[in-house]
Amino acid sequence: MKKVFISIIIFPFLGIIAYLFSALYSTHQIHKGIYYNDKALLKEYIEWEQLRENLKNYLNINLLKETQKDEDFKNLGGLGVLITGFASKIVDSILDTYVNSEGLSVLLQENQMARKLPKPDFNTLLGGIKIMEFKNHSSFKIKHNVDKQEISLLFQRIGIDWKITQIELPEDLLNEFKKSNLNKIKN
């Protein structure tokens, strides 16, 4: 009787520990993949198809919002809709080409931000629990600030693994991008 009672307490506790550790392990593997620019890890812990579709939806919706606000596009009427549709197809094509482990690897080679991350070790593995925000039993979010802009990575449980399926970018990302590129064109 005592063994049954202990089993009833121990097994659920071990299940919860394994569940949390699997989420921590996945975040640690992504951290290692980014820090060491490891294409194999990035390929394994990111659900590329779903991530690509989510990014397409995000960018296309924001493109549509921006063009609807712009008076010049409103004055173009049907031609403005055609131009927006064409721009949307270009965005889709670019994302299909570059949102994969190879494309991310090239970005990481050029980006100095990845080198500023702490080296992945046991402390960063356990410290991951502080930055995880569980949304439900099958997903959690990690928020990260880059240049005072918050970027969130959404992990979803797929089988026993946790993979990045969505990146939430700042609302004003397109405005910042437009301003910075307009300044480059003017100079």
Mean pLDDT calculated for residue range 27-51 = 91
Question: Is residue 176 predicted with pLDDT exceeding 80?
Answer: no
Taking CA atoms, 170 is separated from 47, 65, 70, 87, 144, in Å, by: 21, 15, 20, 21, 11
Q: What is the average pLDDT score of the chain?
A: 81
pLDDT at 74: 66
Domain range list for the chain: 2-186
pLDDT at 24: 92
Question: Is residue 52 predicted with pLDDT exceeding 60?
Answer: yes
d(CA 66, CA 151): 20
pLDDT tens, residue by residue, 115-169: 778 888 888 888 888 889 999 999 999 987 777 778 889 999 988 889 999 988 7
What would the two tokens of residue 70 be? 């712009």
pLDDT at 186: 47
d(CA 120, CA 117): 8
Question: Is residue 99 predicted with pLDDT exceeding 50?
Answer: yes
pLDDT at 156: 94
Percent helix, percent strand, percent coil in the chain, to nearest 5: 70, 15, 15
